[in-house]
């Protein structure tokens, strides 16, 4: 608890905006969280919730129109938001790595897999060609690619989707980073391949001890992979806490609705209970809680004011006015 | 199959696409000898991994592709029979069989208003006599799928994914069909919106009595919406059974691993459950293994599997499985 | 350290001690009505594709500047001949007499005869804004007519290319298969022909056959060179357009909305008209806009080589060609048409780029 760098990564009040022709799009709107070494943090939310932008903000690989407007990202206590491009390029890859949804577009089609792996290794470690090649083969073996000696001579298009994602993971982990950010790593893959990749990631985490930030919309993936979960909506965090707390004791109306709306073993023969309304328009954000236009129990205050975050239990933070309302009523009841 | 009255019967359907490799043309067997039947008002779920031919089945049924061989019977009429050389004009049947597409972005013409998109089937089949009647019908359809009538003059690109999918469904319903092929209609939608659309499919079925072929890769959604489920692998039908039966008592090794690979949205169950991880990748449909296509990844595979593809065999309660060993 | 300990303490506490609950009035916890919620969730202003594109185009200063330049040029070539009393083909007349002394005047100069005339009558003659050429013709009006010819050549050629390319490309693209294969091989053959050689050959051949045919018609004025140039455009330059439209149609054809239309039972003609062509309209407009400057360029180039319009009609290219001989003594005669060609071509290219950015972001 009292150690210098208890947390690998601290994100504090992060705001990221994109400046488009149609105005400022506030993709991330004041989020804060901390990442403990060796754990898996899940960021879950629907499209436009800002979950990917959060990941890109940490890596500082935002598109040209986007930038961090406010807040800070600290790696081992150092604020990296004001680092130079040179410092950052050393940081990316060797300290924090990212894998993307589509492994086809993140590998360069004109170079062999081996060349791309070796280049990544040599860039960050200063190993010579032979050593890099050996390391590449070692990494491919580690991620479960069969016949790595012949695979390194193949081009990305000769590999299947699952294989490509394995190569991407090998590339991301070749410099043994402390943090692996996985942006929807299995969304483009089939269920059986998804299971392979998730298993592989858990395996590698045990072996290499890196922390994983898992960005996804799939509650199933989150449930089976993550220790801690952030639920995001409209660029803000609805609630965060351990996986059990979020799944069994959801405190925000959005999380509750989300959990009600997915088909599960126990509701197969009942109607699903969807969240009504349409997803948020980021160009036209509500003043108050981002979720209030779709919230069944929205109150007058939800329309105008964003609630502060508060602890609901030892390891569970939420920000929903309904809990505050309950507390106010309880207090009055006790007072009277 | 039994004497029961079916809305749609498919027998030994084959759909090969010629693929050029150099100067040679070899057939890509997207669908190979698939047979199933759908009762009126029923939902048959069709699951499988990408490239297994499930989308092709749906499109071939609607004759968007010319089938290579087989027999399709709809509502008592033979639409296609390669043995007898029957191949009817589909135009009248397009009023009875419709389709909802996967991608709500590319399935709506960006240069058309909602009114024109939903009105197109009415125009094509001349289902109205006056302009007012056309408009009334369109507004009625929009209300049916939960769209605001004020939005009739807007363009499709102004709507969110879920609303676009509703527009697509309204277009399919415009001709009042008896059967709709739903090709991954919820895969592109957000979780919270998925449930809205799934519910709407169920409500529409109760109201209108349409039958669905519900194609998807998300087993939980398919299980929720379907009465029966068919599992496909590399162009072949592996197992077909009652939805709950298939879920509780899967027989085919592929179904088994498919079900266990689904990530369960419940941390405690997820921690306890043991996944059956399949080794390796799906073989290329151009280099199909001999015999049963699944044998390269199957734990139960024997020599017999390499020789011949097993036929679907009845295991009671309408549970059919194509496997030598289970 | 202290902050962290505080945080740990805070976790264990009730909500009431984390947030000051007394500041909340109970009224604010009333349920919000559906109307209130809906106000938070408004759909944006409805825009059509065209409106949206125009809005983006208006924000592009280069494209807007180009439009201003083009409009100015157009207005000048339409209005100027109305009040300029000189003719592009006639030697300057003063008081009904041919003015032989008016050759090779500098800008704004008057010839001896003209100065004399003005002194005699007190009448003010229209100045030679750009002087006169070696035959004594007013150079300003010749530039105006040259611009007219060049621009119309550009537009006519672009329209011809558009019509042929559109028809050919959409047939090849939509029907695909063998039809496409054969049609595209023809395109490949045409692509391989050297266009300059063909223009030169055609103008020689057509010169003999066309001259008697055209005699007396309006086309005779343009001259056989011009006609053969149009024929060459019609024969050769549509291939680029046809390829482009075919490619567009091939991609659009694979969209699910085309499949949806087929599932509905829509006929081929209606699919092409309602679903495919409207979606490649932006590409068609943009490519046509970019075709105009390229045709103007080719025309100027050919005229410069002496294969352009026949005298006395002129174009910007042939004006530049004529001025070549006296380049050192009268540089403005070369510079002015050259600058106008540059202005037109640059403006049209920038406008085409602007249109592309505004209407088709995929093409960037």
**Nearest residue of C to residue B89, measured between CA atoms:** C265
Do C21 and A325 count as a contact with CB atoms less than 8 A apart?
no
| The residue to which tokens 């509650």 are assigned | A219
> Please, is A47 exposed, middle or buried when counting C-beta atoms within 10 Å of its C-beta (0-12, 13-18, 19+)?
middle
Q: Cβ contact (<8 Å) for A258 and B191?
A: yes
Give the list of residues 6+ apart from residue A307 with CB closer than 8 angstroms, or none.
Answer: A289, A319, A320, A321, A324
C153 — alpha (psi -120 to 50), left (phi > 0) or beta? alpha
Of B64, B110, B125, the CB nearest to C263: B64
More confident residue, C9 or A208: A208
Reported as a single tens digit per residue, the pLDDT across C307-334 is 777 767 788 888 888 887 777 778 888 8
> Which positions 112-171 of B are in contact with A (Cβ < 8 Å)?
160-163
**CB contacts < 8 Å between B and C, how many?**
71
Average pLDDT, stretch B59-64?
92
C312: cis peptide before it, omega within 30°?
yes
Model confidence over B227-271: pLDDT tens digits? 999 999 999 999 999 999 999 999 999 999 988 888 888 888 888
Give the range of the structural domain holding residue B57, as residue numbers without chain letter: 8-96+177-321
B185 vs chain C: nearest CA distance in angstroms? Answer: 12
**DSSP string of B3-68, one letter each residue:** SS--SEEEEEEEEEEEEEETTEEEEEEEEEEEEEEE-TT-EEEEE--TTSSHHHHHHHHTTSS--S
Whether residues A284 and C42 touch (CB distance < 8 A) is answered with yes
Spatial contact of B231 and B217, defined as CB atoms under 8 Å apart: no
C21 touches chain A (CB under 8 A): yes
Our CA-based measurement puts residue C17 at a distance from the nearest CA of chain A, in whole angstroms, of 10
Structural domain count, chain B: 1
The reply to whether residue C15 touches residue A277, judged by beta carbons under 8 angstroms, is no
> Is residue B310, in this structure, part of any structural domain at all?
yes
Q: Cα–Cα distance between B223 and B214 in angstroms, integer?
A: 10
Instruction: For chain A, positions 36-65, list CB contacts with chain B under 8 A.
Output: 46-47
Residue range A73-85, pLDDT digits in tens: 999 888 998 888 8
Contact (CB<8Å) B220/A264: yes
Name the β-bridge partners of C153.
none
pLDDT at position C229:
74
- The dihedral built from the CA positions of residue C50, C51, C53 and C57, taken in this order, carries a sign that is positive
Measured in angstroms, the CA of C310 and the nearest CA of chain B are apart by: 47
Mean pLDDT computed over C129-145: 80
Is a pLDDT exceeding 70 seen at residue C40? no
What's the rounded mean pLDDT across residues A252-277?
Answer: 85
Report yes or no on B104 lying in a domain: no
Would you say residue B309 has pLDDT above 70?
A: yes
Task: Mutate one of C38, C254, C263, C284 to test the B interface: name it (highest B CB count within 10 A).
Answer: C263
A4 close to C (CB below 8 A)? no
Nearest CA in chain B to A261: B195
DSSP B163: H
C residues 36-65 lying closer than 8 A (beta carbon) to A: 36-44, 56, 59
Residue A214: predicted pLDDT: 94
Could you tell me how many CB contacts below 8 A there are between chain A and chain C? Answer: 89
Chains that touch A (3 or more CB pairs under 8 A): B, C
What global pTM score does this model have? 0.83
C263 vs B: CB within 8 A: yes
For residue A1, pLDDT over 50 is answered with: no
What pLDDT was estimated at residue B203? Answer: 92
**pLDDT tens profile B176-228:** 999 999 999 988 888 888 899 999 999 999 999 999 999 998 888 999 999 99
Distance from CA of B237 to the nearest CA of C (A): 25
Domain boundary assignment for chain C: 138-363
Q: Kindly report the CATH number assigned to the domain that includes residue B265.
A: 3.40.50.300
CA-based nearest residue in chain B for residue A145? B280
Q: How many CB atoms lie within 10 A of CB B147?
A: 21
pLDDT averaged over every residue in chain C = 79
Under DSSP, the state recorded for A189 is S
Q: What is the DSSP string of A227-289?
A: SEEEEEETTEEEEEEEHHHHHHS--SHHHHHHHHHS--GGGTTS------S----TTS--SS-
Chain C residues touching B171 at Cβ < 8 A? 260, 264
The SS3 call for residue A127 is: coil
Inspect the interface and report whether the beta carbons of A192 and B193 lie closer than 8 Å: no
Q: Which residues of C touch B112 (CB under 8 A)?
A: 274
Shortest CA gap A185–chain C (Å): 26
Q: What is the mean pLDDT of residues A171-191?
A: 88
Sheet holding A66-75, edge to edge: A23-35, A9-20, A66-75, A78-79
Task: Confirm or reject contact between A209 and chain C (CB < 8 A).
Answer: no
Q: With contacts defined as CB-CB under 8 Å, which chain C residues touch A277?
A: 41
Nearest by Cα to B222 from B59, B48, B100: B48
**A292·C27 Cβ contact <8 A:** no
Contact B270 A195 (CB under 8 A): no
- What confidence tens digit (pLDDT) does each residue in C165-217 have? 988 998 898 888 888 899 999 999 888 888 778 777 877 787 777 777 766 66
Whether A275 contacts chain B with CB within 8 A = yes
Neighbours of C, requiring at least 3 CB pairs below 8 Å, are A, B
Higher pLDDT, B313 or C29: B313
Convert the pLDDT of each residue in B161-187 to its tens digit: 888 999 999 999 999 999 999 999 988
| Chain B residue with the nearest C-alpha to that of C267 | B124
Question: Which pLDDT score, from 0 to 100, does residue A233 have?
Answer: 92
Question: Lowest-pLDDT range, A18-32, A220-234, B58-72?
Answer: A18-32
The CATH class for the domain spanning C138-363 reads mainly alpha
CB B173 within 8 A of CB B120: no
Confidence of residue C111 (pLDDT cuts 50, 70, 90): confident
Q: Which of A51, A161, A164, A190 to mutate to test the interface with B (most CBs of B within 10 A)?
A: A190
Which residue segments constitute the domains of chain A, with CATH numbers given?
A: 1-95+184-271 (3.40.50.300), 105-176 (no CATH)
User: Does B108 contact C at CB distance below 8 Å?
Assistant: yes
Best residue of B111, B158, B165 to probe chain C, by most C CBs closer than 10 Å: B111
Residues of chain A with Cβ-Cβ distance to B198 below 8 Å are 263, 272, 274
């Amino acid at each position: 608890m009292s150690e210098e760098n208890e947390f690998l990564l601290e994100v504090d009040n992060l705001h990221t905006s994109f400046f488009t022709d149609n105005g400022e799009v506030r993709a991330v709107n004041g989020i804060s969280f901390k990442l403990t070494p060796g754990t898996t943090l899940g960021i879950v939310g629907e499209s436009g919730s800002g979950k990917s932008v959060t990941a890109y903000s940490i890596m500082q690989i935002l598109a040209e129109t986007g930038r961090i407007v406010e807040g800070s990202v600290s790696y081992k206590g150092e604020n990296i938001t004001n680092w130079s491009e040179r410092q950052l390029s050393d940081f990316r890859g060797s300290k924090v790595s990212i894998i993307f949804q589509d492994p086809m577009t993140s590998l360069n089609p004109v170079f062999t897999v081996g060349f791309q792996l070796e280049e990544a290794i040599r860039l960050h470690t200063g190993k010579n060609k032979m050593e890099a090649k050996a390391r590449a083969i070692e990494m491919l073996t580690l991620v479960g690619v069969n016949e790595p000696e012949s695979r390194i001579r193949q081009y990305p298009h000769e590999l299947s989707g699952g294989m490509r994602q394995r190569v991407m993971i090998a590339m991301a982990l070749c410099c043994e980073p402390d943090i692996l950010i996985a942006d929807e790593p299995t969304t483009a893959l089939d269920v059986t391949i998804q299971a392979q990749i998730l298993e592989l990631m858990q395996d590698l985490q045990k072996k290499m001890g890196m922390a994983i930030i898992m960005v996804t919309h799939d509650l199933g993936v989150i449930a089976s992979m993550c220790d801690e979960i952030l639920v995001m909506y409209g660029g803000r965090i609805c609630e965060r806490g351990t996986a059990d707390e979020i799944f069994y004791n959801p405190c925000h109306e959005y999380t509750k609705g989300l959990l009600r709306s997915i088909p599960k073993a126990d509701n197969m023969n009942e109607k699903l209970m969807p969240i009504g309304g349409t997803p948020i328009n980021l160009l036209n954000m509500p003043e108050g809680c981002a979720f209030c236009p779709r919230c069944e129990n929205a109150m007058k205050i939800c329309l105008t004011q964003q609630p502060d975050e508060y602890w609901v239990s030892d390891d569970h933070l939420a920000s929903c006015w309904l809990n505050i309302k309950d507390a106010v009523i309880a207090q009055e009841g006790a007072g009277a | 199959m039994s004497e029961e009255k079916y809305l749609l019967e498919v027998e030994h359907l084959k759909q090969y696409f010629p693929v050029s490799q150099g100067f040679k043309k070899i057939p890509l067997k997207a669908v190979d000898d698939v047979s199933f039947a759908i009762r009126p008002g029923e939902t048959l779920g069709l699951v499988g991994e990408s490239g297994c031919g499930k989308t092709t089945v749906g499109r071939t049924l609607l004759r968007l592709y010319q089938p290579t061989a087989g027999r399709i019977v709809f509502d008592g009429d033979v639409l296609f029979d390669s043995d007898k050389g029957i191949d009817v004009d589909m135009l009248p049947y397009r009023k009875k069989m419709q389709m909802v597409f996967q991608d709500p972005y590319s399935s709506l013409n960006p240069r058309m208003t909602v009114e024109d998109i939903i009105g197109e089937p009415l125009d094509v089949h001349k289902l109205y006599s006056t302009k007012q009647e056309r408009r009334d019908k369109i507004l009625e359809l929009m209300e049916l799928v939960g769209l605001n009538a004020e939005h009739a003059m807007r363009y499709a690109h102004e709507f969110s994914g879920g609303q676009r999918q509703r527009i697509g469904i309204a277009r399919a319903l415009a001709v009042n069909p008896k059967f709709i092929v739903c090709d991954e209609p919820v895969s592109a939608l957000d979780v919270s919106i998925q449930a809205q659309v799934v519910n709407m499919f169920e409500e529409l079925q109760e109201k209108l009595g349409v039958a669905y072929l519900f194609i998807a890769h998300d087993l939980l959604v398919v299980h929720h919406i379907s009465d029966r489920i068919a599992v496909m692998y590399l162009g072949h039908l592996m197992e077909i059974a009652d939805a709950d039966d298939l879920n509780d008592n899967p027989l085919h090794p592929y179904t088994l691993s498919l079900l266990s690979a689904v990530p369960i949205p419940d941390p405690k169950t997820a921690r306890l459950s043991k996944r059956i991880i399949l080794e390796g990748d799906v073989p290329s449909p151009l280099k199909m293994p001999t015999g049963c296509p699944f044998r390269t990844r199957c734990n139960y595979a024997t020599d017999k599997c390499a020789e011949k593809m097993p036929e679907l065999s009845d295991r009671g309660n309408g549970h059919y499985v194509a496997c030598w060993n289970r | 350290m202290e902050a962290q300990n505080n945080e740990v303490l805070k976790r264990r506490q009730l909500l009431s001690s984390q947030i000051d609950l007394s500041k909340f009035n109970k009224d604010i916890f009333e349920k919000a009505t559906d109307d209130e919620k809906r106000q938070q969730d408004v759909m944006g202003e409805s825009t059509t594709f065209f409106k949206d594109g125009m809005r983006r185009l208006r924000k592009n200063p280069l494209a807007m500047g180009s439009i201003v330049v083009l409009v100015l040029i157009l207005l000048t070539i339409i209005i100027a001949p109305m009040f300029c009393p000189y003719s592009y083909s006639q030697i300057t007349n003063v008081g009904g007499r041919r003015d032989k002394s008016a050759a090779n005047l500098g800008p704004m100069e008057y010839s001896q005869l003209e100065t004399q005339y003005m002194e005699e009558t007190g009448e003010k003659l229209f100045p030679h804004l750009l002087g006169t050429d070696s035959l004594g013709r007013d150079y300003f009006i010749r530039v105006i007519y040259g611009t007219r010819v060049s621009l119309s050549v550009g537009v006519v050629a672009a329209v011809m290319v558009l019509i042929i390319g559109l028809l050919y490309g959409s047939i090849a693209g939509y029907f695909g298969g063998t039809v496409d294969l054969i049609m595209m091989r023809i395109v490949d053959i045409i692509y391989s022909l050297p266009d300059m050689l063909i223009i030169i050959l055609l103008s020689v051949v057509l010169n003999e056959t066309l001259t008697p045919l055209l005699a007396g018609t309006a086309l005779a004025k343009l001259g056989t060179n011009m006609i053969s140039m149009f024929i060459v455009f019609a024969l050769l330059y549509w291939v680029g357009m046809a390829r482009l439209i075919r490619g567009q149609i091939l991609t659009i054809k694979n969209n699910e909305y085309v499949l949806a239309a087929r599932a509905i039972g829509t006929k081929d003609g209606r699919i092409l008209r309602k679903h495919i062509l409207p979606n490649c309209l932006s590409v068609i407009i943009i490519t046509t806009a970019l075709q105009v400057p390229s045709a103007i360029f080719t025309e100027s180039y050919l005229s410069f080589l002496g294969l352009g319009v026949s005298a006395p009609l002129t174009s910007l290219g042939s004006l530049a060609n004529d001025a070549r001989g006296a380049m050192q003594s009268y540089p403005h005669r070369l510079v002015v048409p050259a600058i106008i060609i540059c202005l037109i071509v640059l403006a049209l290219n920038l406008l085409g780029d602007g249109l592309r950015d505004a209407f088709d972001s995929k093409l960037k």
